Amino acid sequence: MRRRKFMKNLAGAGAIAGAGSLAAAATTKETDRFSWKLVTTWPPNFPVFQEGVNRFAREVKTMSGGRLSIQVFAGGELVPPMQTFDAVSQGTTVQLGHGAAYYWSGKIPAAPFFTAVPFGMNAQGMNAWFYGGDGLKLWREVYAPYQLMPFPMGNTGVQMGGWFNRKINSLMNLKGLKMRIPGLGGKVMAKAGVNPVLLAGGEIYTALERKTIDATEWVGPYHDLRLGLYRAAKYYYYPGWHEPGPTLELIVNLKAWQSLPQDLQLIIETAAASSNIWMLSEFEAKNLQALRILRNKYQVKLHEFPADVIRHLHKLSNKVLDEEAAKDKTFMKVYTAYETFRADNDAWNALSEAAYAKALKL
């Protein structure tokens, strides 16, 4: 009876997580134990991101009664940060990874949809697409050829526009900039005359300080403060048009996933959903506190992107999406699904969140 009650509670937690149906599990004994390794793209002890992954591993161990133990390695401790995807795909050394899908856009053109789309959905919309729509199903279809099972696990909320070593008064000020900006945002910036660069989080400050790059986007005030970016660049811009609600990912080697009994699969799914909520909540709670420190203690001045720059970047974003869709069938499939869901989400938002925000100003 206790076992039936335990399984019923786990099933309820999985329904709340809403991450979709589980893959078929291998037949194993309930006493079997698993010892896995998880690698990330984040620096050691990195706030929220690496903390969230460590929290995930602790929850899995606790909920499984120690049957599934996960050892976490930060970027570079076991494999280089940008080799996380390949390491988990191969599954020879590690079984899990944590990063952002748009890091793999060179390998999978449609991958950025599962992180962030310029001028796209915010965190609430992304979670709705994954858990309530067909986003997670599509994500798993796209990753299946690489022997990976993905889960949403973290979100930063709307980001800042980035740190620049020159003022952006017009589109001309963007031309020739070397900027760390990944994903579709990087492709949009390239069309605006920027030279996009892909760097892991731990490499950003040094590159900006040494002027290897002229600008960088990262996350938001809480992370930007901790990374010390205010010491390497003068101008802090908003809004984060390129990443309005970037989702982070947990990836599990498919063979390793299928070796687990169903209750351990459900524990991973539930712990990932828990960490997804926790990370977003941390950023929402701490960003403004960090921004006050940046402005009051370090005299950082905020700058809003000029309206004409934003309008032009929006047009370029639509152009990039259409061009990428014309080149890749999978990109087109995911793009169509994303836009279909987004249209409904925007229509509802106009009557709910946006309408409420407008009412507060009356």
Domains along the chain? Answer: 2-24+31-155+245-284 (3.40.190.170), 162-242+297-326 (3.40.190.10)
pLDDT grade for 7, boundaries at 50, 70 and 90 = very low
Question: Alpha carbon 163 to chain centroid distance?
Answer: 20
Better-predicted residue by pLDDT, 236 or 24? 236
- For 347, residues 6+ apart whose C-beta sits below 8 A from its C-beta are none
CA 150, CA 97: separation in Å to the nearest integer?
Answer: 9
pLDDT grade for 79, boundaries at 50, 70 and 90 = very high
- What pLDDT shows up at residue 32? 87
The model's pTM: 0.88
CA 148, CA 252: separation in Å to the nearest integer?
Answer: 6
- What pLDDT shows up at residue 140? 98
DSSP state of 20: -
Write out the two tokens for 130.
């994954």
Q: What is the mean pLDDT of the chain?
A: 92
Check: CB of residue 226 under 8 Å from CB of residue 199.
Answer: no
Tell me what the mean pLDDT of segment 235-244 comes to. 96
Which residues, in sequence order, are bridge partners of residue 73? 39
pLDDT grade for 200, boundaries at 50, 70 and 90 = confident
Check: CB of residue 289 under 8 Å from CB of residue 47.
Answer: no
Helix (H) or strand (E) holding 56: helix 49-63
What digits encode the pLDDT tens for the residues 131-159?
Answer: 999 999 999 999 999 999 999 999 999 99
Helix (H) or strand (E) holding 97: strand 96-99
Helix (H) or strand (E) holding 348: helix 329-351
Give percent above pLDDT 90 in the chain. Answer: 87
Check: CB of residue 154 under 8 Å from CB of residue 277.
Answer: no
pLDDT grade for 183, boundaries at 50, 70 and 90 = confident
E strands in 100-240:
148-155, 162-164, 178-180, 195-197, 215-216, 235-238
CA 348, CA 99: separation in Å to the nearest integer?
Answer: 30
